[in-house]
Structure 1
Amino acid sequence: MAEDGSKEGATWPMPKFRFEVDLGTELKGVAFQEVSGMDVENQIIEYRKSNSPLFSTVKMPGLTKYGNVTMKRGVFVNDNTFWNWHKEVTMNLIKRRTVLIKLLDESGKVTMQWQLDNAWPTKITSTDLKSDGNEVAVDTIEIAHEKLTITNGK
């Protein structure tokens, strides 16, 4: 008989469709359609020891590199939050923020959190417009950051 997960101690992978994003002081709990690009990579340093009898290199971890995070959300009336943040960057007044991406459980509690430190917008793509379409208007923002920290809920 198949397990229904009702007995104590049963664990299931978390669904990824319930999440919220905190973009800073006035931007808490923003609903997004999609968040992607939360990746980290260590560059590889290859070298060969001068006294090594093998004709091959040794690989060691180098600098850590963080990918840009892309977020998509619906366009709302009189909401220019993305554009105002990006405008600060173009005027050389980069306002870096701590961005929190929170994965929620069925009761709305945080189960996992991704923290992007010193984040700022690098690119905004506005929605496409079609006279024969019936989709929701969606803006896309790409955010650069200097560190990604993952924590579990409490």
Structure 2
Amino acid sequence: SLQFTGGPTLPTTAFFREISGIGVEYGVAEHKTVSESGIPFIQKIPARPTYSPITLKRGIASDLSLWLWHKMVVDEITAELARTNVQIVMYSRMYLPVLQWSLKRAWPSKISGPQFQTDSTDVAMEELTLVHEGIEIDTMGSMIGRAAGLL
């Protein structure tokens, strides 16, 4: 189970069954230099990070706060307010917090409703994609986090 908390429309808490895209990639800058003995070499150093968009999926809900948040992005008056810090918490089967990802200045770049098929028994799903300006991870002091070597 994944819990999402954040959003400027209300202190929104929503539960999602699937998440993808958590990650960061650093560019590589090459710095040409010379060693103390006069031998030229190229030193590779980390450049600016690129944060992956994060996609969350859940069964369709009657709560419209995520849709209202998405609407804020395109409104000139509320666009800057749409950027907010978000926490995504992963829970164990016993509903104990295991990991938390904190996103800085996140906002929804995409939201989509369900695809309907009259003969399907599948749960109608909605999808939210967030872009952000930074990510941190916290194992929340869990035994699972320690066992996985994440502390």
- For normalisation by structure 2, the TM-score amounts to 0.78
Measured after TM superposition, the shift of residue 73 of structure 1 is 1.0
User: 2:89 is matched by which residue type in structure 1?
Assistant: K
- 1:71-125, Cα deviation, whole Å (9 max, x unpaired): 0111123x22222111111112222221111122344332221101111001112
Alpha-carbon distance change, 26 to 43 in structure 1, aligned in 2, over 3 angstroms: same
User: 1:121 is matched by which residue type in structure 2?
Assistant: P
The answer for the alignment partner of 1:19 in structure 2 is 2
The answer for the alignment partner of 1:34 in structure 2 is 18
Does residue 91 of the first structure (1) align with residue 91 of the second (2)? no
Once superposed, what is the RMSD of the aligned Cα atoms? 2.0
User: 2:125 is matched by which residue type in structure 1?
Assistant: V
Does residue 57 of the first structure (1) align with residue 42 of the second (2)? yes
Corresponding residue pairs, total: 134
More strand by share: 2
- Secondary structure in structure 2 of the residue aligned to 1:129: coil
Instruction: Please identify the structure whose Cα radius of gyration is greater.
Output: 1
The answer for the alignment partner of 2:133 in structure 1 is 146
User: 2:111 is matched by which residue type in structure 1?
Assistant: I
Give the distance between the partners of 2:68 and 2:93, measured in 1 at CA.
33
Alpha-carbon distance change, 99 to 135 in structure 1, aligned in 2, over 3 angstroms: same
Bigger mean CA deviation after superposition, 85-94 or 100-109: 100-109
- Secondary structure in structure 1 of the residue aligned to 2:46: strand
The 4+ residue runs of structure 1 with deviation greater than 6 A are none
The answer for the alignment partner of 2:148 in structure 1 is none
The answer for the alignment partner of 2:87 in structure 1 is 100
User: 2:138 is matched by which residue type in structure 1?
Assistant: T
